[in-house]
Structure 1
């Protein structure tokens, strides 16, 4: 009988506040700060320091789905770019992904909405820029011309123009109406990393790897002159010397355009004040006046210079407009910056920083200083997670890092306690769950009170790093192993005066090499010690006498574990192998090539021979130690996986990684079989090999022309599947049409049998069945799907369009399909006589239908504007009534004053002037 296993699925990921690979930004209201949490989008309430929402892009996380760029529009839309080249649009209210746009072949590096939020531009490592319609969720066109990674984008002229910069040292201005490059900006001697434009679109700033910030004046309606081209949108304005020698990472204007922040690839942010036109002119006058004074001082020796100085004109230069205000220095390297769109009272702006140690900081910028106001740091470790341990009742989870110990709720992912500590390499809960033990890199053993979140005792346990802490099965003590070649046995004690827990060393076992891992048999009979010399020594626990030596690994053994029945011991090594041993005779049952890198942790599921292993190859693997079979491969971590912990019941496991994330994997009720999983793995391997071979060995096209335009989408597995479904629908519809024609002939010949429609068509006509198959294709994938259809099937689709055009809800889709098919198969259609009649019929029908659809939309827009105007008038009605009452009161008051005191002097003067005019 074939054995079935229960599947483990990803359930929760926590511990990551912000990723270093992506930028941060604010939502349109300025209430929430958006950051990337590996493959998810984190929405933080930065004032309260809590996580509002965590939007996951896929139920099956992967490092290829890592968020690499975030953009938020003024209309509330949010878009994220990912490492696989996809762009996702989010509905924050519903907490779900609205659409996935596939077009780029590499990671998305830049995203920017236009001011209305209707259009989205994305740049990628594949050197291309794609314009997306954010409303219809479809690609418009692809702009090609850059020779290296696109680093930043910005819209100009109400979204009619786009400026892009790249690591190829050039910035390009694109006309989106004509879809061509209208200006190439050069002059930078190194890679351009960022650019931005002020809200009034007067100045554009470019930051690169050189020591200057380059400024350009924006001339949307440039006049034709001797020294300028009428097509040039950007005119060089000048450079400003930066204070830092590191390259520029990000330049951003604030919402009002009064401040400019320049973040470098280090720990500093330079904040510049943008002066108004009046202030800039005043500063220019002062600069010219000081220059004249210096010239006059030299006029005693040279009289001509004085004459030249008097004729000098007022010219505003870049230093007159941009003035260095502050230099913000952070504690760690800054990954990204963002200005809040809402300005707090009494300050110029609110600036947030994303640090590379998994922190978010918010600062208030004033005229005199920059003040730190908020910090989000308690929700994650500052560095990678080195060990994990679960309490005996599985309600608490402890993680250690280089300077802190955190206690988590593993069911919700909330951080309960944070304790300052040394560099924790191993940890364990005391059986009562009130205290915990942490072994550090400097050899100390820390005893932590879980309830109060404090370290109550620090014991100098070893002279080297403590690599392993394991509780004894009877709960009376624990065993530690260290790099000082000692294995020490400890027991728990209570102080008589304070009843406080303390530990005491009872026995010590000397080894010949560094101790890397320790395992105890559940019956307390054996202790297994993994050494740096690639062997595992097994001793009797009561007498500490030598029992077995397990050798066979070629590199040091990093982890071991003994099964609940004491029959098997499993070991993982830096040689990428996992070995299963029998503990009775010390024979090696099986040696398995488990991971593509070092195996960092192995552990049995309680009361079973199932084993989990994790490694530096980012994978978590599930094994059957009796059959020596791989059951599952769990992907999700974005860096090396250092540790894991399994619940007592085996219903979930927890893993910790170098990417600072903690992931929980839950056991479901879904069964699976080894053969099916093996076939899935082979299929995935075959598909990945095919993708790699196509990308690596296929003949590459020549570099695109300067400013060329291409199709926005790309061929994916989804487009191929959609093309197959359309072909299948066409075949079924053709068969149904033949059956209908045959039935009609049989009725003419006198047959009385009733026609039975095909149940696969669900009661639809052949034409409706095909259009439903096309409607199920995502808007962004429609073009690539139709490109995959052969000409014969495209001709069949054209024959159906006469019937489809009669449906008012499908006019837009029909026109789009018709345009794509005509552009793709134009030459073959003109050379095919049978297609002439179909095209002639469509020529008479489609334009009228499209014009009627356009008129309907125009009427609806006009009606909406009229309703909007009516609503605004109604909302202003109370103010108009109040204003009228106020005027009435003033009029009565003036009449009353006139009767009482007579006309005023002003009224008398007016009467006198009017009489003189008469």
Structure 2
């Protein structure tokens, strides 16, 4: 049906008397009531009335006398009726009767109120995940307000996107929900609004202090109308957060103690009641002490059962059903005996409808104390801490590692569980040792594997060429990888599953980025385009074309409405993520005005290519990195060069003066990054070192040495306590930022590591490599959790979605792939680019992805549907970089055509082309306030542009070679830039890559054997025996007669059903029967009779022997 919905205050408007045209849209046939219902269902608000009813039923009868005294208290009356008291806090220890008092006061206020008064409330409960967060608390208050004032539904309705059946803005965080609640309170026409929150101490949320401050501020705004009543145990944090001078009321007496004593007296003779009461200790904990000792002092068998039951209940995550008790405790399965045990423990436990619960949270807290545990443990060892010592635990742990390592094999080829999975597990694996008899009869000999599980948890396969970039989704549940195979792959970080392969680029994917909400991926490629992909469906939404050269970087604006792309064409382009239109092209390597696209400034100073540019968080500085081996800090207002960091430098963002020159690196600076607190800079260089600098003094603090080849990427952990570095030596290293100590070396890649990124919570690292894989690592243990494979060529860029649930990867395979960070699954492959994807970025809201490619375009993709929304065309060469403006309304793209372009993310229109660079634009970045753009170029300069006018503000010159990377400090006072600064160094990459390729081919004539092999030999069969797969075996040269390159291998030596090695499989004829370990990349192989020797890209040798007669007889039906 057709509906017209009016928002805002329509004073004097009569909807029925609209003589002019009324614009209406058809939205799935939803009426306003439908939308209201859907909004509330989506919000999933707890029902406080039902909770209150349940609490009343679970506790003893509410006696008015238990709370009546407070009604006459002057402080309470001043809060209830006064015009200046907005907040009343009732605090008291456990069991003081606060919850029953709250229920009584709520019902009293509800009876007393006139029609213009509203009473809303919420009961926090620590044991219920639906009732112990600030999000659920605020949702409960919102729901009660709407129940009493239906007109407030409009507040939610305005935030509903009816076309897409979802809220148009964030409604998941407590701060966003608080804004909705405050708006409802403002719009509510009630004369007085009472808000009661009980047991605030049971709300487990780190934002509690901020929440309390907001309550105070909200109450002080209208103290006569909005009145908050809070109850909790005494909390120091709450006392600090609540301002001094507000009324506080502490209830005296312990109602729970009275209740428990009454239960204790039920079976006491009348003449013994007084004596019994006098004998009981005062206070709740002394009372618990007395009862626990009595339960423990009885008959030994009874006492053991009491202790087991109480400890099991204390350890259980939730209340236990009667039928669950025997399994958990090992006690009898007879219900009547269990009831007897519970009744004996009635001071701690009760039965409520077949469920055993604690009489009060204080009972559980007491039993968890050291004093109580010493009594609970007096009879036997029983509890969580004992599990790890059992054989069952060892089996479970081993099975878990087994499934993680072989998850993809088991899920895709289940029968390989009994061959490949068992064969390639370590010798000590319990699962392997107990099931070796199930390995097929035709396998006569298996390779010797490592003794125990190594740090590698999982290898994710799928890419067919180098992985250029890896990135986590904002919620950490997905990884996106971009590869030289032209695809982006999405992986589930939990299972390692390839969720989707996004195909569409016609050349390498250089960069991939998630939108802030994780619903889109943007990929940039060497095909000169950016592509937008839907992370849910994997559909290509849009292809943004306009760059005239490789797209090297793509980024979403914070609100997701724009994509900015940077390209080898020396331009940055801004794209509208909704329409895919090119809004602006920024050329000149300067700051641009995001409204007009005018060039504000050209920043000159570098003497070679500018490789990367980044704004500081406050937008006052730009850091640029160049091939001239320096990082430069620039003042975004004046365009002045503040510092040249030769090795890294600091710049003053206020004066533009050069403060210091940091010298130390002896070769090109590849990457520069600020610590989260802005006090340090870390730089990585081709000289194989990472250097830590003090941003205040410019002093070199530490030089981190350990890599044996160029450092390609450096990143700080979110808390700033660690640095992760990736190198062409195939390793990632974790360093302590305080001591500079090397904590861990993560090994597992078989080629250079190109990109490393921390997950939002800092618990994982994702790395992308030229070996075509993405690997997930645990930052605490250093264990390899998963390897994501799916691209068929090198991954150029990887980026997290804002919620961390997805990763988008852009690849040379011309595709963007969306990966689930939890499972590691590939969710979608976005195809559309006709060349390498160079850069991918999510929009800030995560609804779109912008991708830049060598096909000269930027593409906008819908992350939900994977549809290609728009292709932004305008660049005449590769798109190297794309970035969103902070408000998401623009995209800036940099290209090999030497221009930056500004695009409107809504329409996709090209707003401006910023010209000024004399070589391709390597990197583009918006200032945090969106008023400037900084671009780094191969022309050795950094340029600052005004985003409103498009004027070039400054050109920062100083580097003598291409600027590799630029970054702002968090406070915006400094810029760090890294450059090559040597004429010859820019060729080292090409030379190294060639060497790498040659080395890859040379692996057909160079292998690693076990430590028992000390001499040269003429082959891998016969006298060699079974080589041991050692972590660090010696390297020896051998004459590989019979070991031929798979590419030149022929089947002439075999009959039509001979053994063949191809694509991670061993075939018998045309039938694959044994999958090789995902960590094995066959580079060569040899066969002799029934024996097969396989050399891998990482230098290992695997040796098998097969009974081909048995194999033939088993497979004969399929062979025919």
Identify, as 1 or 2, the structure richer in strand. Answer: 1
Which structure has more relative contact order (CA 8 Å, sep 6+)? It is: 2
Larger radius of gyration: 1
Instruction: Calculate the TM-score normalised by the size of structure 2.
Output: 0.28
